[in-house]
Amino acid sequence: METDFVKRGRLEIVYEILSVCRRPSKKTNILYRCNLSYEQLLKYLNYLISHDLLGSFEKERAGIFFQVTDKGRRFLEGYEILRNIVEETAPTVN
């Protein structure tokens, strides 16, 4: 029996944040689209920026935006390839 409430892992959360930030995004947008608490969001943003997967910039009068870097795009591509491989080989559960 498969449950609808599966706990997300760190890599999945990183993937979701980077996916949202393919377009410049503000903290609030990332927070809601990735279903994170504010504390979790800050930890992940700091981690992603420190590992050069995410960059930030400020637009005049619009605030701070976050956008995926080239390294972050490579992560997204690799994650999607691995996810497709796993989904292709996963046995179906009835």
Residue 56 sits in a domain whose CATH number is 1.10.10.10
Q: Is residue 15 part of a domain?
A: yes
Is the Cβ–Cβ distance between 65 and 56 less than 8 Å?
A: yes
Residue 23: give the domain boundaries.
10-89
In this structure, is the dihedral angle defined by the CA atoms of residues 36, 41, 47 and 48, taken in order, positive or negative?
Answer: positive
Number of domains the chain is built from: 1
Tens digit of pLDDT at every position of the chain (94 positions): 455 556 789 999 999 999 999 999 999 999 999 999 999 999 999 999 999 999 999 988 889 999 999 999 999 999 999 989 888 876 666 5
Question: What is d(CA 53, CA 76) in angstroms, rounded to the nearest whole number?
Answer: 10
pLDDT at 62: 84
Domain membership of residue 94 (yes or no) is no
Q: What is the helix (H) or strand (E) element at residue 3, kind and residue range?
A: none
59 contacts 65 by C-beta, under 8 angstroms = yes
The pLDDT assigned to 30 comes to: 97
> What is the predicted pLDDT for the residue at 1?
41
pTM for the model stands at 0.85
Q: In one letter, which amino acid is 40?
A: Q
The answer to whether position 5 is within a domain reads no
At 91 the pLDDT is 67
Q: Is residue 17 in a domain?
A: yes
What pLDDT, on a 0 to 100 scale, did the predictor assign at position 4? 58
